[in-house]
């Protein structure tokens, strides 16, 4: 049976797309690695305090590429510091709800991206005051981005109870709130449980997410063409 030329061409373009994207990924990392090697001590900003998933990934990059890490209370602070050129790069997880503010800012460029798993996450309570199940509402400290984890792993004894959310700026902040008596439970990660002496009520494995690296748009290209294409050309 003969193959229609338009279908054959479409198949060829589709088959070539992964190769093109892989080339783009490799090219970005090659460029970035060379830049970091030429400028040791480049400052990488991300969300703190120590023990957040962002901090762990930033420390991994710092050890591999001789970077200096700065931790900030919010990603808004990271964005502001990057725009003020107090940071050379920003590390932001794809799971962050405000990531579009980095993507769409005209002064910034998505420099690179990569997958890496987070630590173990779950629901934790204070070890010093054993949690007593009941039928009233529960106060739960959590970042907005990880609240859904609560419903996913909540133990059977706690299901169906109303939740009063206590806003936290990071997984470590959520653990700190519980340790200080500001909430009964926290949605946090393994470093948070360890740092604040909490105990797990329920856990789930870490998730592999994409991490994005932003820097200043004019750092690449020329005045006539300041922005390189942000995606690979899908043509063969």
DSSP structure class, residue 169: S
- pLDDT at position 70, please? 98
Q: Report the predicted TM-score, pTM, of the whole model to 2 decimal places.
A: 0.79
Distance, in Å, from the CA atom of 236 to the CA atom of 162, rounded to the nearest integer, reads 55
Please give the angle made by the CA atoms of 144, 126 and 56, to the nearest 5 degrees: 55
* Whole-number pLDDT of residue 72: 97
What pLDDT does 1 receive?
39
CA distance 195 to 169: 16
Q: Report helix, strand or coil for 128.
A: coil
pLDDT score, position 69: 98
pLDDT value of position 2: 42
Q: What is the pLDDT along the chain (236 residues), one digit of tens a residue?
A: 343 334 344 444 445 668 888 888 899 999 999 999 999 999 999 999 999 999 999 999 999 999 999 999 999 999 999 999 999 999 999 999 999 999 999 999 999 999 999 999 999 999 987 667 677 899 999 999 999 999 999 999 899 899 999 999 999 999 999 999 999 999 999 999 999 999 999 999 999 999 999 999 986 543 334 344 333 332 22
CA distances from 146 to 78, 149, 197 (A): 20, 6, 21
Name every residue whose Cβ is closer than 8 Å to that of residue 68 and which is 6 or more positions away in sequence.
Answer: 41, 42, 43, 44, 62
Query: What pLDDT score does 19 carry?
Result: 83
């Amino acid at each position: 049976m003969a193959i229609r030329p338009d279908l054959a061409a479409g198949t060829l373009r589709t088959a070539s797309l992964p190769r093109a994207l892989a080339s783009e990924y490799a090219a970005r990392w090659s460029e970035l690695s060379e830049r970091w090697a030429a400028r040791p001590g480049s400052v990488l900003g991300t969300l703190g305090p120590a023990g957040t998933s962002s901090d762990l990934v930033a420390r991994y990059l710092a050890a591999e590429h001789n970077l200096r890490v700065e931790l900030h209370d919010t990603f808004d602070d990271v964005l502001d510091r990057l725009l003020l050129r107090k940071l050379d790069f920003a590390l932001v997880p794809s799971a962050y709800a405000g990531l579009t503010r980095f993507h769409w800012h005209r002064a910034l460029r998505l420099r690179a991206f990569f997958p890496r798993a987070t630590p173990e996450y779950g629901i934790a309570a204070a070890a010093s005051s054993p949690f007593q199940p009941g039928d009233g509402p529960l106060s739960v400290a959590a970042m907005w981005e990880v609240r859904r984890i609560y419903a996913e792993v909540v133990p059977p004894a706690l299901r169906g109870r109303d939740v009063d959310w206590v806003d936290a700026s990071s997984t470590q902040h959520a653990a700190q709130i519980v340790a200080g008596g500001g909430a009964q439970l926290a949605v946090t990660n393994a470093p948070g449980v360890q740092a604040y002496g909490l105990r797990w009520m329920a856990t789930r494995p870490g998730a592999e997410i994409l991490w994005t690296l932003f820097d200043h748009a004019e750092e690449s290209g020329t005045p006539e063409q300041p922005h390189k294409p942000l995606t690979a050309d899908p043509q063969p």
